[in-house]
Amino acid sequence: MSFVAAFDRLPFASLLDRAHTAPAAEARRIASSPDSPALADFAALLSPEADSELELLCRRSQEITRRRFGRVIRLFAPLYLSNECINNCAYCGFSRDNAILRVTLSPDDVAREARELASQGFRNILLVAGEHPKFVSNDYLAECTRAVHGIVPSVSLEVGPMETEDYRPIVASGADGLVVYQETYDREVYGRMHTAGPKRNFDWRLECPERAYDAGFRRLGIAALYGLADWRREAIAVAAHAEYLLRRCWKSMVTVSLPRLRPCAGEFQPLTLLSDRELVRLVAAFRIAFPDIGLVLSTREPAALRDGLFPLGITHASAGSHTEPGGYTGAGRDQLHTTVRGRVVALGGDHGPGAVATAQFEIADNRTPAAVAERIRRIGYEPVWKDWDAALTA
Ligand code: SF4
C-alpha cells in the first residue's frame, strides 16, 4: 500500500483527540517507556497538558539523540539553482505571478557557488530550484549534480517532484538525498494554497519520497510548512509519513524538517501559529517517538532559538544560508530578468548594477558558517561538515 492509501486511512480523529486531551501523566509515562508503534505516543506528547513536562521531555530527547547520533550536528548549505517556477504557492516568493528578479544559474556558475561553499567548509550541499521544465530540465539537474558532486561528496536535491525513471540519471550523477516538503497535509488547505501549476496534485507530491527511494536516493527528507494548517494535525501527518517511510524505504535515512513560515515576496501572512515553546516540544516529541529519524533545523529560525534547540534533538542544520540563486558569489547577476508566461523579459533601466535575484524567503540566523560551528563547539558538540560518502553504500 502506498502512503497515499495509508494516509487516507489514518485515524486522525482519535489521534487528534489524544493530541488535545492526553494528561501530563501520559507524557511522563512515554518519556520513560515509549510504545511501539509510536504514532499514538507522538500524538499524546503534543497535548496542552504535556507542556507541563517540557523539561523532562527535553532531557529525554537529548539523551536519546546523544545515544543514537553522538554529540554532533551535521552542517549543510542550500545552493539555489533557479528561482523560476510555474506554480503559484500562496506562501512562496518564487510563485509565477510574483514580479520578481529571476535567474537560472549555468552549471559553471553552480560550480562556482559550490566551490565557495566548499571553501567555507561545507561537504554537504542541498541543490534547490523552483519547478519549471523550460529552465530547470531533468538534464540540467543531472548536469548541476555532476558539477557539484565533483566538488563535495554529498549532494541532495529539493526540486519539483519527478517520475522514478527521471530521478535515476540524477542519482547516477552523484545525488544521494531528496527533500520534498508536502507543505500541508490538509487536503483542503493544500487546494487553497496551490492555485496553479502541477503542484496542485496533492497525491503526486505525497508519493514522491517513495519514487525517489525506488530510484536509489538514500536520504529522504519530508516536512510540513508550519503556519498553513493546525500544527498538531500537520505534525501527526508528518510523523505518520516518517513511520511509513522508515518501513517502506528501510535502506534510507529519513529526516524531518521543522520549517515555520518566514516573510517572503508576496507578503503572505501565516494562517496558524506554532510558538517557540511548541516547536521545542515538537522536536522532543519526534525524537522520543521516532529515535532513528534525523531532525533538520534551518536558518529560518533565529540564532538564540537554534542554539537552544541544537542539543535537544537536532541532527542536521544549515548555516550561512542564502535563498537566492547566486547568493554566495554573485553568480548570474548579469542574467537577471523577469519572467512573464514563461517568456524572459529583459530588465528596464530601473534596476541598477547592484540588483540581485529575489530570495525565496528571509532567513533569521544571519551568522556565518564559522560562527555557527564555533557556537556548536562551545555547547560541547562537534560540527560535522561531511556526513555521507558514496563509499558508505558501495
Ligand atoms: S514553493 Fe516551490 S513550487 Fe511553490 S512557488 Fe515556491 S518554488 Fe515554486
- Residue 283 phi/psi, 5-degree rounding, is -60, -50
DSSP string of 145-188? Answer: HHHHHTT-SEEEEE-S---HHHHHHHHHTTEEEEE---B-S-HH
How many angstroms is it from 281 CA to the middle of ligand 1? 28
Distance between CA 351 and CA 66 in Å, rounded? 50
pLDDT tens per residue, range 120-171: 999 999 999 999 999 999 999 999 999 999 999 999 999 999 999 999 999 9
> Which DSSP category does 333 fall into?
G
- Element (H or E) spanning 295, and its range? strand 294-297
| Ligand 1 atom index nearest CA of 360 | 6
| Ligand 1 atom index nearest CA of 92 | 6
| Helix, strand, coil shares, percent, the chain, to 5 | 45, 15, 40
Distance between CA 7 and CA 385 in Å, rounded? 35
For residue 349, what pLDDT is reported?
67
Averages of pLDDT over runs of 10 residues in the chain (394 residues) are 93 96 97 86 98 98 96 97 97 94 98 98 98 97 98 97 98 98 98 96 98 98 97 98 97 97 82 96 97 97 97 97 97 94 84 85 95 97 81 56
How many angstroms is it from 68 CA to the middle of ligand 1? 34
How many angstroms is it from 85 CA to the middle of ligand 1? 6
66, three cell numbers? 546523544
Ligand 1 lining (C-beta closer than 6 Å): 85, 87, 89, 92, 94-95, 130-131, 199
| Ligand 1 atom index nearest CA of 129 | 7
Distance between CA 310 and CA 295 in Å, rounded? 10
How many angstroms is it from 279 CA to the middle of ligand 1? 24
Pocket test for ligand 1, best of 94, 180, 339 (most atoms within 8 A of CB): 94
- Element (H or E) spanning 139, and its range? helix 138-149
| Residue of 375, 299, 368 lying closest to 120 (CA atoms) | 368
Angle at the Cα of 236 from the Cα atoms of 219 and 251, rounded to 5 degrees: 20
Side chain identity at 106, as an amino acid letter? S
| Residue of 297, 283, 304, 280 lying closest to 367 (CA atoms) | 304
| Ligand 1 atom index nearest CA of 160 | 3
How many angstroms is it from 244 CA to the middle of ligand 1? 25
Q: Whose CA is nearest to atom 5 of ligand 1?
A: 95
For residue 12, what pLDDT is reported?
94
pLDDT tens per residue, range 318-368: 999 999 999 999 999 999 999 999 999 998 766 777 889 999 989 999 999
93, three cell numbers? 516568493
How many angstroms is it from 87 CA to the middle of ligand 1? 6
For residue 263, what pLDDT is reported?
75
Domain architecture of the chain: domains with CATH: 68-387 (3.20.20.70)
Torsion of CA 69, 71, 209, 43, to 10 degrees: 80
Distances in whole angstroms, Cα of residue 100 to Cα of each of 121, 205, 358: 31, 26, 6
- Residue 333 phi/psi, 5-degree rounding, is -65, -25
Predicted model pTM: 0.96
How many angstroms is it from 194 CA to the middle of ligand 1? 9
